[in-house]
Chain A
Amino acid sequence: MLHGTADLATTLLAQADPGHARAGSLGRVADEWAGVGAWIETMAFRGGYNTNTVIAGTTLLGLAAGVVGAFALLRKRSMMSDALSHATLPGIGLAFLAAGALGFSGRSLGVLLLGAAITGVLGVLCVQGILRWTRLREDAAIGIVLSVFFGAGVVVLSAIQKNAPAGAAGLDKFIYGQTAAMRVSDAVLMGAIALVAVAAAGLMLKEFALVCFNDAFARTDGWAVTLIDLLMMGLVVLVTVAGLQAVGLILVVAMLIIPAAAARFWTDRLRVLVLVSGLIGALSGYLGSVTSSMLPRKPAGAVIVLVAGGVFLMSMLAAPRRGVIAVAWRRWIVRVRMAGDHVLEAGYENLRAGRPAARLSAEELGSLARERGSPAWFRTIVRRWLKSQGMVWSADGGLVLSERGIERGRTVWRNHALWEQYLISCADIAPSHVDWAVDRVEHVLDAPMIGRLEAALRDRGVALPDGGPA
């Protein structure tokens, strides 16, 4: 929806000034991809003065956005920063007009960014106002403010393009950003903003954390929650406005959200989260601007966001504890182990039934599998896993349990029986309904819980299942 609006803006601007808008459209390719060699050259800051300026500026911007974005994410204000960035557009146009009326040059970046900051903050205040005075939820309030302010910006900009073409060219660059136009003074500004962001995060880490985690407690504890919130929001405004020129108002929100969201996969510690988020932001800015300087038309903002998106995807998949693969792997291991436990339990039951060995015939294995509804490939994996653990070995198409296998089977059998007894005698569950409930719990019982189960059963005078200390 947003990008549709942006396209509309470009179209509107194209109608106003056809010669100008061509540069913003994705038309003819002017030059070709320069090759890996040149890419590495650029990475080593040998791509020329202008390129180096852009690389330094975007890296510092990425660092600032990553650090500030960590707090925006934790305060659950990510979408608020999207409303903020879209609400900057009318400010840019109005600042241009106001400066022109007062006799300044409307192209002064400082004036434009001041205007951007003013309407951006106004947009955030509008969201807060809607939340406070109506029953609308935050998502609706943000959607309304974001689109209305952006629409106002498009109208203002197209009016400017029509009536004051001289000097007005390039205002629409703030929509998609124009990284290549970054000058040394801009890069220095990015450095200053990064410094402010890092200093604020370092100095006020505990205040920010307190308000992000539990603002009601902070308020009762006497902290100026509104002030701390304003400081956090102020940092977001600073980074957003600084990022307008580089990545554009549509994509700047990505610089705030993505590094923090990616960093969250790698750590459970706040300090590390802020650090990693800043580093991912800086890395995205660096790799993105280097890569885009090699590309025709240099769409740096989009490439930076794509690099950040790549880091996010990798984090989401590959992070050691919270990553998707790690979580799926842990579930898989539990599933295989549970299936293995069932085999061992059945083998031990055979031994208890008076067979000479803890042996499971092929038919018994087959009926066990039917009962559990597990496919053949899964049974093969479970059997291999049991063998690799030294729990069983194969014999005439069936399995024989080793000492270790018997030991494990006995434990599972006993936990199963204990839990069954507990449910029947203490929790008033009918015996016929017990089995489905015990199927999983016997694998997760730890020693203290088993102790409590035994105590509960002893208190009720229920005989404990044999095979363990009574």
Chain B
Amino acid sequence: MNVPSPIGGVSSALAERPEHSPESPLSIHAVTVAYQRKPVLWDVDYDAPCPGPDGAGSLIAIVGPNGAGKSTLIKACLGLVARASGLVEFWGRGYRDARTRIGYVPQRESVDWDFPVSALDVVCMGRYRKIGWFRPVSKKHRAAALACLERVGMASFAGRQISRLSGGQQQRVFLARALAQEADLYFMDEPFAGVDAATERAIVDVLRDLRAQGKTVIVVHHDLQTVREYFDHVILLNMRVVAAGPVGEVFTNENLQKTYGGRLTLLSEAAEAIARGAGDR
């Protein structure tokens, strides 16, 4: 997987970039990711805004067409997929030093929901790193997990086996587990995908709550209609960052056209060529 960077001289390229703030909860420097040598993210640069003077955090949407690398970007930040090149920093530090402050909501489809655990058991998993190795889940942590279920309106389903929850309820269980992590920076992979109206409202309420507490939340989002309503910042992504910044400035028709339109043919053709080159060898 250690693919050499398709862009030459990363360090020299870095020097020319705008400086990254060490206080930023998330700075992505020149990240490139390739699957089977085929690049899916090219040279992504992004700095998440620091909490404002009022102490409020920010809600950031990652938006782009299918296959644009939205989930991959999150996974590259979290170290779940190998980066071909580049660097990700959290509050100016590496992932290892920062991960106790980072929470994650994976895609709902990524797990087997027939697993023999209850909703509360899943939320308790968010407390595990606070509990530590070998120790069982204490009453205190169980109560904290239950409070997180309460925040997403799922307290009455605490004892239910997870396969007997609806898709939206399962999504809320995942959100509650992330809340139980008590992080400062959250990554959420498509939390709104295929959920019912009640779940969508519950998630939005939780997101606004988190913002008020000064947290930064990065959400892979697929519904362009709700971007303006739900989020402060947006990253328009299609293999590379088309535009990023406050929703009011960046979320324009022109930028959306660039993200979803046909201007990327050369980029994807180059990616195909790199993949083909790998196959020929």
Contacts and interface: CB of A to CB of B under 8 A. Distances in A.
Interface of A: 74, 76, 135, 203-207, 209-210, 212-214, 216-217, 219-223, 264, 267-270, 273
A217 B116 contact: no
B181 A221 contact: yes
B177 to A, nearest CB: 8
A214 B116 contact: no
Contact of A269 (B80, B102, B116, B136): B116
14 contacts: A74-B116, A206-B128, A209-B121, A213-B112, A214-B110, A216-B75, A217-B125, A220-B104, A222-B99, A223-B128, A264-B116, A268-B118, A269-B118, A273-B116
Interface in B153-169: 161
Interface residues of B, number: 31
A206 B136 CA distance: 7
A217 B117 contact: no
A96 B126 CA distance: 49
Contacts of B115: 74, 212-213, 270
B263 to A, nearest CB: 31
Given A217-B177, A221-B126, A268-B161, 11 more contacts: A206-B128, A206-B137, A210-B128, A212-B115, A213-B111, A216-B75, A217-B106, A221-B99, A223-B128, A268-B118, A270-B116
B125 A214 contact: yes
Contact of A204 (B100, B110, B131, B134): B134
Given A220-B78, A268-B161, A269-B116, A213 B125 contact: yes
Contacts of A270: 115-117, 121
A217 B36 CA distance: 23
Nearest to A133: B1
Interface string B88-124: 0000000000011010101000111001111001100
Interface in B119-145: 121-122, 125-126, 128-129, 131, 133-134, 136-137
B79 interface: yes
Contacts of B125: 206, 209-210, 213-214, 217, 221
Contacts of B131: 206
A172 B104 CA distance: 51
A353 B129 CA distance: 67
Contacts of A213: 111-112, 115, 117, 122, 125
A378 B137 CA distance: 52
B116 A216 contact: no
By CB atoms of chain A within 10 A, which of B104, B131, B181 has the most? B104
Contacts of A267: 116
Contact of A220 (B79, B117, B122): B79
A95 to B, nearest CB: 35
Contacts of B133: 204, 207
Given A206-B137, A264-B116, A268-B116, A216 B128 contact: no
Contacts of A269: 116-118
A213 B78 CA distance: 18
Contacts of A204: 133-134
Interface in B17-43: 36
B102 A220 contact: yes
Contacts of B106: 214, 216-217
A76 B112 CA distance: 10
B228 to A, nearest CB: 25
B117 A209 contact: yes
B79 A222 contact: no
Contacts of A220: 78-80, 99, 102, 104
Interface in B44-83: 75, 78-80
A221 B104 contact: yes
Contacts of B177: 217
Contacts of A205: 136
Contacts of A209: 117, 121, 125
B80 A216 contact: yes
Given A206-B128, A214-B106, A219 B79 contact: yes
A270 B115 CA distance: 8
A210 B111 CA distance: 11
Contacts of B104: 216-217, 220-221
Contacts of A223: 128-129
Interface string B219-236: 000000000000000000
A214 B111 contact: yes
